[in-house]
Structure 1
Amino acid sequence: MTNETKLLITGATGFTGIHACRHFQQAGYEVIGVSRKPFTIKGSQIQIEPCDLTNRNEIMDLIKKHNPDRVLHLAGQNHVPSSWTNPIASLEVNTMSTAYLLEAIRHEIPECRVVVVGSTLQFDINDITTLEHPYSLSKTLQTLVARSWQLLYEMDIVIANPSNLIGPGKSNGVCSILAKKVAEMELLGSEKVLKINNLLAQRDFLDVRDAVSGYEIIFNKSQSGSMHNITSGLPRYLKEITSSLQAISSVEFTVESIEDKLEEKEIMHSSNLIVENMSSFIPFDKSMEDILNYQRKSLA
């Protein structure tokens, strides 16, 4: 990728956004990060542009100012419990901001390639009983908006649906939450007990760095209008998180589960495009080690 390719990344200061900014800058892109508030990414010279993506006028001004060649749309409300508390905010941030962004691109730079990052937690629109929470609704509608703009206006839009992302950095995910508690045991002398709701619940965990690599593949090799899952393809019980942390922690601790209710998830595989173009994935134990080291540094 030449330095002349300008990539605008929304949600640039979030968990995935920081990894994406660094990855694409190293790959030779001219990266412009977008965040609601001014922010500096440590160790980089990436320009961060403040913009409220729920404000259509600010988005229009942003697109006019930078005229990017590509847009990676990461910004959104990604916390399921928060969607229950404020469902309208989830719809505004996840769905309407996507519509505002795509409409600005349609008017100013319709040839721009856009990757909209959705979620594997979307529900089946043909079966309303598969809807489990407002977050799922907002991300499903986001994808419908993106695919509709691609079809109706012949825009160059592609959808990426990652599974549960883990890795070093500030995250509200279960792996980071548990790793932080272990780091507090090591460094702050906290109680040597790790409490978890259900050790037998399952999740597909994917390292955020692999997800970002997948986004680059999608930018370079996918067809407009296509949709691609990016997953590990290996659902893990939450017990595997605690076991991994016990293996790498410098202190011994016990694990208490509120309930042990088997909760198996359907296996979701990555799309063929991802499988054929990604040579390897970061091992789960390596991700957990990096997460714990990040939490240790944050407390030091």
Structure 2
Amino acid sequence: MTKQKLIITGATGFTGIHACRYFHQAGYEVIGVSRQPSKIGNNQVHFESCDLTNKEELSDLIQRNKPDRVLHLAGQNHVPSSWSNPIASLETNTISTAYLLEAIRQQTPNCKVLVVGSALQFDVNDITTLDHPYSLSKTLQVLVAQSWELLYEMNIVIAKPSNLIGPGKSNGVCSILARKVAEMELLGAEKVLTVNNLLAQRDFLDVRDAVCGYEILFKKGQSGSMHDMNSGLPKYLKEITSSLQAISSIDFTVESVKDKLEEKISKLPSDLLLENMPALIPFEKSIEDILNYQRGLLR
């Protein structure tokens, strides 16, 4: 049986590294794409360097590889950076998606594409829900994907994951806190963990469960559909700090800057396929793996 050829953009990013490993083990012929040259998975994954904001370079990539499926993970996902350089966020998240979909439409129109959006998208019917340029860029990215699916009858599915956690390089709150604890353990940093609001509540989904969910969407997701992906078990920030205290090799205290609930907690619309996903990886295991990863960086 011929392997399905899968291009994964953003292959060297937090989710991309896990996705390359997972889909290779699942039997796909994986082509990892990133702007910077790199080697992924001990030569188990074919790697190509490509700037997705360069439409000629991108078109050549699709023409040469003719993928059966594309998992589009690449993008700028740092909210503060979107404030300082909003145009770069629009180019990286929105324009590059249009270039990618157009190249696929022209070169391999039967390819199934999974575009990964963000829980930080805003409601296009209420502009007051727009909080930052990053949200704008991801919302427009999804609108582009939906438009290409509608106008050109392409096979495009959209995933909208909640906060992804797990071992690896991440700017998420769990990784930031775990790194601080690892610095206390290994570098002698002050044994105080300062957080903004212990009662802030968010949904967390392990990145390894999310990648498994992406394969489900490749197999079962209907073209034009958007699927929320979450654990359905929101956690308070206090639960994260308590988990870290329970598994740390040292004792440390936790200080809270705020002790009231967040005024606004975004709620994802219901989804029949991947909402309230059964966690294959327990939350406590996610936190432990994140801490071990941060420890490894410091050793």
Is TM more than 0.5 here?
yes
Deviations 1:174-216 (A, max 9, x none): 1001101101111111111111122222211110001101100
Give the distance between the partners of 1:71 and 1:97, measured in 2 at CA: 14
* 1:201 alignment counterpart: 200
Give the distance between the partners of 1:167 and 1:47, measured in 2 at CA: 24
Task: Compute the displacement of 1:275 (Å).
Answer: 5.4
- Contact 1:168-1:287 within 8 A present in 2 as well: yes
Task: Compute the displacement of 1:281 (Å).
Answer: 3.5
Task: Compute the displacement of 1:291 (Å).
Answer: 0.4
Task: Compute the displacement of 1:272 (Å).
Answer: 1.4
- Contact 2:11-2:32 within 8 A present in 1 as well: yes
Task: Compute the displacement of 1:41 (Å).
Answer: 2.1
* 2:217 alignment counterpart: 218
* 1:99 alignment counterpart: 98
Give the distance between the partners of 2:114 and 2:136, measured in 1 at CA: 20
Give the distance between the partners of 1:193 and 1:3, measured in 2 at CA: 55
TM-score calculated relative to the size of structure 2: 0.96
* 1:27 alignment counterpart: 26
262-271 or 25-34, larger mean C-alpha shift: 262-271
Query: May I ask how many residue pairs the two structures share in their alignment?
Result: 298
Query: Are 2:274 and 1:268 aligned?
Result: no
**1:1-300 aligned within 5 A:** 3-263=2-262, 265-268=265-268, 271-274=271-274, 280-300=279-299
Q: What amino acid is the match of 1:290?
A: D
Task: Compute the displacement of 1:26 (Å).
Answer: 0.2
Deviations 1:246-272 (A, max 9, x none): 010000001112222311624436621
Helix, strand or coil at the partner of 2:167 = coil
TM-score calculated relative to the size of structure 1: 0.96
Deviations 1:128-183 (A, max 9, x none): 01111111100000000000000000000000000110000111111001101101
- Contact 1:235-1:265 within 8 A present in 2 as well: no
- Contact 2:230-2:274 within 8 A present in 1 as well: no
Q: What amino acid is the match of 1:272?
A: L
Task: Compute the displacement of 1:234 (Å).
Answer: 2.0
Give the distance between the partners of 1:199 and 1:224, measured in 2 at CA: 40
Give the distance between the partners of 2:268 and 2:149, measured in 1 at CA: 25
Deviations 1:30-68 (A, max 9, x none): 000000011112445211100000111110010011100
User: Root-mean-square deviation (CA), in Å?
Assistant: 1.5
Q: 1:190 to 1:270 in 2, by over 3 A?
A: farther
- Contact 1:63-1:108 within 8 A present in 2 as well: yes
Give the distance between the partners of 2:83 and 2:247, measured in 1 at CA: 35
Give the distance between the partners of 2:275 and 2:10, measured in 1 at CA: 26
Give the distance between the partners of 1:221 and 1:30, measured in 2 at CA: 20
What percentage of residue pairs aligned between the two structures are identical?
A: 74
Q: 1:174 to 1:280 in 2, by over 3 A?
A: closer
- Contact 1:230-1:270 within 8 A present in 2 as well: no
- Contact 2:62-2:104 within 8 A present in 1 as well: yes
Helix, strand or coil at the partner of 1:194 = strand
Task: Compute the displacement of 1:101 (Å).
Answer: 0.2
Q: What amino acid is the match of 1:107?
A: Q
Helix, strand or coil at the partner of 1:272 = coil
- Contact 2:231-2:275 within 8 A present in 1 as well: no
- Contact 1:233-1:268 within 8 A present in 2 as well: no
Q: 1:176 to 1:3 in 2, by over 3 A?
A: farther
280-289 or 86-95, larger mean C-alpha shift: 280-289
